[in-house]
Chains A and B, each alone.
Chain A
Amino acid sequence: MLLRGFAALVVLVCSTSALAQDGAATARPDLSGYWELRFDSFNVPRASLTTAAQGALEMRRSRDQDAIRGCVNVGMPAVMDDRGVLDIRQSPSVVGMVARSPSSTRYIYTDGRKHPDAEELEGTTNGHSIGRWQAETLVVDTVGFNERGITAIPGGGYRTARSHLTESYRLAASGDQLTVTFTWADPTVFRTPHSYTFRYYKVRAIPEPRVLNCIQNEADRARFLTERPAPARF
Chain B
Amino acid sequence: MTRRPIAAGMVMSVLFATPLAHAQEKKGAVPAAEMSGLWILQDPGSGSWAEWFDNVPKPQLQPDIVADNQRMAASEAAGNVVNRMPRTAACPVGNLPMMMASSPPLNIVASRDEVLIGAESNRGRFVYTDGRAHRDVKNPSYVPTGFGDSIGHWEGDTLVVDTVGFAPRVCDSRRPVMLVPGGGRAKDTTHLVERFRLAGPDELSVTFTWEDSTVFLAPHTYSYTYKRVPEGIPIENNEDPAAAQPDRQYTTTKAEK
Interface membership of chain B positions 11-36, coded 1 if the CB is closer than 8 angstroms to chain A and 0 otherwise? 10011001000100001011100101
Chain B residue contacts of A128, Cβ below 8 A: 233
Contact residues of A between 1 and 58, Cβ < 8 Å to B: 2-3, 6, 9-10, 13-14, 17, 20-23, 25-26, 30, 32
Q: Does B94 contact A (CB under 8 A)?
A: yes
Q: Among A10, A87, A113, A125, which residue has its beta carbon within 8 angstroms of that of B114? A: A87
Taking a contact as CB atoms under 8 Å apart, the answer to whether A21 and B22 are in contact is: yes
**Complex: A125 Cα to B30 Cα, angstroms:** 32
Q: Which residues of chain A are near B236, meaning CB under 8 Å?
A: 73, 104, 122, 124-126
Q: Are B109 and A107 in contact (CB under 8 A)?
A: yes
Q: In the complex, which of the residues B22, B93, B231 contacts A211, with contact meaning CB atoms closer than 8 Å?
A: B93
A89 at the interface (CB under 8 A from B): yes
**Residues of B close to A140: CB separation below 8 A:** none
Q: In whole angstroms, what is the CA distance A103 to B123 when docked?
A: 8
* Contact indicator B11/A98 (Cβ below 8 Å): no
Given known A10-B14, A32-B111, contact A213–B93 (CB-CB < 8 A) = yes
CB contacts (< 8 Å) of B77 on chain A: these are none
| Contact yes or no, B250 A69, CB < 8 A | yes
Given contacts A2-B3, A2-B7, A104-B236, contact A91 B18 (CB under 8 A): no
A residues less than 8 Å from B64 (CB atoms) = none
- Interchain CB contact (< 8 A) of B36 among A92, A146, A228: A92
**What string of 1s and 0s marks CB contacts (under 8 Å) between B93-124 and chain A?**
11000000000000101111111101001110
- Encode A74-92 as 1/0 by CB contact (under 8 A) with B: 0000000000000101111
Residue among A21, A96, A128 with most chain B CB within 10 A: A96
Given contacts A70-B240, A217-B248, whether A89 and B111 have CB atoms under 8 Å apart is yes
Does A94 lie within 8 Å of B37, measured CB to CB? yes
Give the interface segment out of B83-91, B172-180, B182-190, B205-213: B83-91
By a CB distance below 8 angstroms, the chain B residues around A120 are 233
A116 pairs with B233, CB closer than 8 A = yes
Q: Are A213 and B109 in contact (CB under 8 A)?
A: no
* Chain B, Cβ-Cβ closest to A225: B253
A27 to B188, CA, bound (A): 42
Whether B250 and A209, one on each chain, are in contact in the complex, defined by CB atoms closer than 8 angstroms, is no
CB-based nearest A residue for B123? A105
| Interface members, chain B 221-237 (any A CB < 8 Å) | 231, 233-237
Is A216 close to B, CB under 8 A?
yes
A71 at the interface (CB under 8 A from B): yes
Decide: B4 and A2 in contact? CB cutoff 8 A: yes
Given A6-B11, A91-B110, A98-B123: A213 touches B18 (CB 8 Å cut-off): no
A–B complex contacts, Cβ < 8 Å, 23 sampled: A21-B22, A22-B30, A23-B30, A32-B111, A69-B250, A70-B242, A87-B114, A87-B126, A91-B34, A91-B109, A91-B111, A92-B34, A92-B36, A93-B36, A104-B236, A105-B116, A116-B231, A122-B235, A213-B91, A217-B242, A217-B251, A222-B250, A227-B253
5 nearest A-B residue pairs (beta carbon): A96-B109, A104-B121, A23-B30, A91-B36, A89-B111
Instruction: Contacts A103-B123, A209-B143 known; list 9 others, CB within 8 Å.
Output: A25-B30, A72-B240, A89-B114, A96-B111, A105-B107, A107-B107, A113-B231, A218-B88, A219-B253
> Which residues of chain B have a CB within 8 Å of any CB of chain A?
3-4, 7, 10-11, 14-15, 18, 22, 27, 29-31, 34, 36-37, 86-89, 91, 93-94, 107, 109-116, 118, 121-123, 126, 135, 142-143, 145, 231, 233-238, 240-242, 248-251, 253-256
